Each structure stands twice: as structure tokens, then as C-alpha cells.
């Protein structure tokens, strides 16, 4: 029998069936079913993680736009305040928290989507996809390995930046006032809806100025109608308008107070969900198109142009179509601490984060909002895995 001198890669099935002397298999990865499992191994995850980290250009941009931005802004404010506290205020304040969080979220989403698109296309652009397929490993496992590999890069960066913002806001910020100014009326701070209702019943004049007719020199009333006379009529008015009044109270409080610790936790969870969404959508879109640049441009257009328009402007007969965009659902889910300064009204509180949203369109039901977010996560993951499983090697 002649010796086989071919240099072509051997069929994985041959390796799987080959045995060494004594009847043992020469390679652990050749164990039957190991290649066919759709669950990624730790080695597959760490390998993909290393491949992404070795893209130094992408990593430098990711660090600069996530961690570098708050470090630069907060660092300069800390230095200026330490050098001349009379001319420069404290580094942390409710306004700075809001102003910094918005670009952190936008840049973080775009970087996460870019990283996801890179994770979904690097094997194709580097010419390694064929070799990965020839190993006999499950293509689904190859795709799923990219999810923890990419998230383990972008989420820690965003977490460091957000933690820094929270620490500076909490420990190097302005002293918290004891009351909330609503249309010129000082209302005690940190009241629940029931406590605000009780306070308004005890101060009907303040209720009239703050939530009904506004200050005496105002051009138009912020509320509707006028305050009725009589204790029974005042109680009925408070009962009828307490939800709207509490929303106005919380909105004023958000603009004048630093977020509480529990609110910062909610904001951090919301940010992690938003960044994770960006990565998963970018990964699925990259695997579908096979083009990192095209996928990145599409994600930037979705984030910067499409989502803000659909979240702010109600299109006749297309309201349900607008609600299918994940950015609209995420805007409605925004925690209450992020609602101030967004220019949107929003609906009542929603479960998990308690946000009032920042929408300029009627909010969707809570179940629909959750369905849209979950649908985008599962949908793009399925699309990306399907395309990788059916792509020609």
C-alpha cells in the first residue's frame, strides 16, 4: 500500500474515527459529538476574545470614546475647580451627569455595534472562515462564542466610565437642596406620590401656583382649569390630577438633584442593556451582510438619524411601525433619572426601571415595549446564526 503524501486537510470524520495504539483516541477534540455541539467551548470564546483585542485600532477608538470622554471632561472640571473654586463650580452636578451620559450612551452604542460587526465579519475578511469550518466545529457554536467574547470587552469599558461619572457626581458634586422648586413653589424633596398628595392637601395655595395656574406673572397656566373652592372640591381636584402633578414634581426634581444610588443602579442596568443590544444587532447584521463597514454605517444611521426622528415625530397611520424600532422602545424604558432634559414627555412609569420615557409619540403598552426589545435580541441573534450556518465556506 502506498503512503498518503497529500497535504490537504484531513476529513474531521477521519480524525474522529482514528484511534491510537491501545484503542485510545489521539486527540481530545476528536471525541464524538464534541465538534457537533452548538454550545461554544471556553477555548473558542477566549480565542475570539483575543482576536478582537488584537485589533488595536478598534480598541483604541473604543477606549477613547467610552472611558476617555468622561476622564477628559471630569478631569478638567476637577482641576479647574481645585485651582479656582470661586470661578469654577464643582465637577459633578445634575446637569453634567445628564450632559455626559447622553454622548456616553450614543458613542457606547455605536462602538458596541462596530465591535459586533467586526466580530461577525473578521473570519470572512481574514480568510479564516473556511479553515474554521474545516475543523468540523458547529457553526452555531462559532457564532455564539462571539457574544461573550465581545460583551466581555465593551461592557467593562462602559462600566468603568459610568462608575467614574457616578462617583464624581456623588462625591464631587453640588450640595443637594432640601426642597424642589416647581413654578416658584418650594416643595419638600424626596416625596412619594402619597406624601406629595398629603402635602398638597395641606397647602392648597401652593398646589394652585405649582400645578394649576402657575406663578402670578405667568403668561399661560401649566395645568388646566382653576383651583376650586372648598375642602371637598380641592381634595377631588388633587385626586384627579395627582398623577400629572407627581410627574411634574419628579421632572423638576430630576433637573435639580443628583440621581440617588438606586436610580444610578437603574441607569447603569439600562445602559448595559442598551450597549448589549448594540453589540448583538451589530453582530447579527455583520454576519448577515459579511461587510463590517456597511454594517457600521447602517448602525450609525439607525442611531443618529432614524431613531431620534421616529421617537419624536408621530407619523400618521404608522405609529405601530415606529414602535417596532428598538431605539423607540429603549427610549420609553429610560429610567426616571434620565427623563429630565430630554425634551420629551413620556408616559407613566414602567416596570423594572420606573422610567417615564423620553418619547414625543404616544407610549406603547409595557408588554409591547418588552416584546420589541426581546424580539430584536432574539431576532438578530437567530438571523446571524442562520447566516453563518448557511454561508458557503
Residue 70 neighbours by CB distance under 10 Å: 21
Which residues are paired to 181 by β-bridges?
A: 186
C-alpha cell at 187: 416643595
Residue 79 neighbours by CB distance under 10 Å: 12
The CA distance from 133 to 161, in Å, is 38
pLDDT higher than threshold 80 for residue 91: yes
The predicted pLDDT at position 181 comes to 76
Nearest to 98 by CA among 173, 177, 155, 154: 173
Q: Tell me the pTM.
A: 0.75
Nearest to 164 by CA among 270, 73, 90, 89: 73
Q: Which ranges constitute the DSSP H helices of 290-356?
A: 292-301, 307-312, 319-323, 326-332
The predicted pLDDT at position 17 comes to 42
The predicted pLDDT at position 226 comes to 53
The predicted pLDDT at position 351 comes to 40
Q: Give the start-to-end residue ranges of the domains of the chain.
A: 42-175+258-390, 179-256
Which residues are paired to 188 by β-bridges?
A: 179
pLDDT higher than threshold 80 for residue 326: yes
| pLDDT digit string, tens, across residues 177-193 | 667 777 778 888 777 78
Burial class (CB in 10 A: 0-12, 13-18, 19+), 308: middle
Sign of CA dihedral 259, 275, 148, 52: negative
Amino acid at each position: 500500500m502506498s503512503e498518503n503524501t497529500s497535504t490537504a486537510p484531513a476529513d474531521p470524520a477521519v480524525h474522529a474515527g482514528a484511534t491510537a495504539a491501545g484503542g485510545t483516541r489521539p486527540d481530545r477534540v476528536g471525541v464524538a459529538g464534541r465538534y457537533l455541539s452548538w454550545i461554544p467551548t471556553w477555548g473558542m470564546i477566549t480565542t475570539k476574545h483575543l482576536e478582537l483585542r488584537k485589533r488595536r485600532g478598534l480598541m483604541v477608538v473604543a477606549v477613547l470614546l467610552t472611558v476617555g470622554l468622561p476622564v477628559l471632561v471630569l478631569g478638567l472640571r476637577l482641576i479647574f475647580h481645585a485651582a479656582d473654586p470661586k470661578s469654577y463650580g464643582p465637577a459633578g452636578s445634575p446637569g453634567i451627569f445628564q450632559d455626559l451620559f447622553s454622548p456616553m450612551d450614543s458613542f457606547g452604542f455605536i462602538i458596541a455595534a462596530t465591535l459586533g460587526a467586526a466580530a461577525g465579519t473578521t473570519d470572512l475578511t481574514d480568510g479564516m472562515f473556511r479553515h474554521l469550518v474545516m475543523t468540523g466545529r458547529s457553526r452555531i457554536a462559532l457564532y455564539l462564542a462571539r457574544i461573550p467574547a465581545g460583551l466581555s470587552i465593551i461592557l467593562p469599558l462602559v462600566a468603568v466610565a459610568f462608575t467614574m461619572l457616578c462617583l464624581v457626581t456623588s462625591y464631587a458634586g453640588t450640595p443637594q437642596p432640601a426642597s424642589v422648586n416647581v413654578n416658584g413653589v418650594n416643595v419638600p424633596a424626596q416625596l412619594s406620590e402619597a406624601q406629595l398628595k398629603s402635602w398638597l392637601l395641606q397647602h392648597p395655595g401652593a398646589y394652585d401656583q405649582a400645578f394649576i395656574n402657575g406663578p402670578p406673572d405667568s403668561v399661560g397656566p401649566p395645568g388646566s382649569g382653576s383651583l376650586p373652592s372648598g375642602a371637598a372640591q380641592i381634595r377631588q381636584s388633587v385626586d384627579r390630577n395627582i398623577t400629572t402633578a407627581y410627574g411634574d414634581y419628579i421632572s423638576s426634581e430630576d433637573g435639580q438633584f443628583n440621581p440617588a444610588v438606586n436610580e444610578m443602579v437603574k441607569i447603569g442596568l439600562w445602559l448595559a442593556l442598551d450597549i448589549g443590544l448594540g453589540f448583538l444587532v451589530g453582530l447579527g447584521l455583520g454576519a448577515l451582510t459579511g461587510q463590517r463597514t456597511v454594517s457600521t454605517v447602517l448602525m450609525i444611521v439607525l442611531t443618529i438619524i432614524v431613531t431620534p426622528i421616529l421617537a419624536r415625530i408621530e407619523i400618521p397611520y404608522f405609529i405601530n411601525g415606529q414602535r417596532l424600532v428598538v431605539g423607540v422602545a429603549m427610549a420609553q424604558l429610560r429610567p426616571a433619572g434620565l427623563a429630565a432634559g430630554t425634551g420629551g414627555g413620556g408616559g407613566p412609569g414602567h416596570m423594572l426601571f420606573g422610567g417615564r420615557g423620553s418619547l414625543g409619540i404616544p407610549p406603547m403598552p409595557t408588554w409591547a415595549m418588552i416584546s420589541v426589545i426581546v424580539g430584536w435580541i432574539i431576532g438578530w441573534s437567530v438571523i446571524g446564526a442562520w447566516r453563518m450556518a448557511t454561508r458557503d465556506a
